[in-house]
């Protein structure tokens, strides 16, 4: 019970966010209408992705100072799961954009930025495949990962802020906080974000444990 309380919490938070997200009260707005409920699913994907990339870069730094292969495995699995969340975020965003902005891929800096950031992390995985020797692979991919992280922040969070963007809170648009006057949406959005972050971490730890077992049986066989 001590170890897995946060997994139960994740499931409860997700259940709460799905039920409250579909049944809860939302402000009536033009154009967006009921699709505003997508904010409970679209935004948490990006929170989860960011958390996983952050975990990845932390473990890359740890790997460089420790040379412990476990840290490298955590870093790569965080990126793997982070990419899945990024793709989910793009997918939910595209569905949403199709209803509100009229096209699944409007020329929006934030959308483009996240697609490019995904390319960067896919390049990280390609780089890993290009290197055969295990220690070299860990070290060089850790270096690239640390190098890519600030660029990802610039692409997704700094550049869209000072260009014209369709996303709320960017380019002079008002943020969601302006519509959510009584805080009823925040009461769903934040638990949902926490829930998805925990699920992402859970997935990452599962994948990490599988990889660790593979690694141990591999090294034991040699």
Partner 1 sequence: MSLLKEVTSLIRKEILLEWRFKYAINGILLYVVSTVFVCYQAFKSVDPTTWNALFWIILLFASVNAINKSFVQESRSRQLYYYTISSAKAVILSKIGYNILVMLLLSAIAYLVYSIIFRNPLGDPVLYFLVVILGSMSFASVFTMVSGISAKAGNNSTLMAILSFPIVIPLLLILIKVSKNAMDGLDRSVSTDELVVLLAINIITVAISLLLFPYLWRD
**Can you give the binding site for partner 1, defined by CB under 8 A?**
64, 113, 116-117, 119-120, 123, 126-127, 130-131, 136, 139-140, 142-144, 146-148, 150-151, 154-155, 158-159, 162-163
CB 23, CB 37: distance < 8 Å: no
DSSP 119-146: HHHHHHHHHHHH--SHHHHHHHHHHHHH
CA atoms within 13 A on the CB side of 65: 5
Looking at the Cβ atoms of 41 and 121, the one nearer to partner 1 is 121
Looking at the Cβ atoms of 88 and 142, the one nearer to partner 1 is 142
Looking at the Cβ atoms of 133 and 222, the one nearer to partner 1 is 133
- Round to whole Å and give the CA distance between 82 and 175: 25
CB 127, CB 68: distance < 8 Å: no
Query: Residue 199 is inside which H or E element, if any?
Result: helix 186-221
- Round to whole Å and give the CA distance between 168 and 155: 16
CB 116, CB 155: distance < 8 Å: yes
CA atoms within 13 A on the CB side of 89: 27
Looking at the Cβ atoms of 38 and 118, the one nearer to partner 1 is 118
CB 166, CB 108: distance < 8 Å: yes
Angle at 33 between CA 28 and CA 37, to 5 degrees: 95
The least distance separating partner 1 from the CB of residue 120, rounded to whole angstroms, comes to: 4
Looking at the Cβ atoms of 150 and 177, the one nearer to partner 1 is 150
Looking at the Cβ atoms of 11 and 130, the one nearer to partner 1 is 130
The least distance separating partner 1 from the CB of residue 73, rounded to whole angstroms, comes to: 18
The least distance separating partner 1 from the CB of residue 141, rounded to whole angstroms, comes to: 9
The least distance separating partner 1 from the CB of residue 54, rounded to whole angstroms, comes to: 16
The least distance separating partner 1 from the CB of residue 64, rounded to whole angstroms, comes to: 5
The least distance separating partner 1 from the CB of residue 166, rounded to whole angstroms, comes to: 17
The least distance separating partner 1 from the CB of residue 113, rounded to whole angstroms, comes to: 8
Looking at the Cβ atoms of 95 and 127, the one nearer to partner 1 is 127
Neighbours of 201 (CB within 10 A): 19
């Amino acid at each position: 019970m001590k170890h897995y309380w946060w997994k139960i919490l994740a499931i409860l938070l997700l259940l709460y966010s799905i039920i409250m997200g579909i049944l809860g009260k939302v402000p009536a707005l033009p154009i967006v209408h009921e699709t505003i409920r997508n904010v409970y699913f679209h935004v948490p994907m990006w929170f989860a992705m960011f958390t996983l990339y952050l975990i990845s870069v932390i473990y890359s730094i740890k790997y460089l100072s420790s040379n412990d292969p476990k840290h490298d495995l955590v870093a790569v699995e965080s990126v793997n799961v982070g990419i899945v969340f990024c793709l989910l975020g793009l997918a939910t965003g595209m569905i949403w954009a199709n209803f509100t902005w009229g096209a699944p891929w409007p020329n929006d800096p934030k959308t483009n930025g996240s697609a490019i950031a995904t390319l960067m992390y896919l390049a990280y995985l390609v780089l890993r495949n290009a290197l055969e020797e295990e220690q070299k692979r860990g070290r060089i991919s850790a270096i690239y990962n640390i190098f890519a992280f600030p660029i990802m922040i610039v692409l997704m969070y700094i550049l869209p802020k000072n260009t014209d963007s369709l996303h709320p809170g960017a380019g002079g648009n008002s943020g969601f906080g302006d519509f959510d006057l009584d805080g009823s949406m925040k009461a769903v959005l934040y638990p949902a974000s926490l829930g998805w972050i925990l699920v992402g971490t859970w997935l990452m730890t599962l994948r990490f444990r599988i990889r660790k077992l593979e690694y141990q049986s591999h090294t034991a066989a040699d």
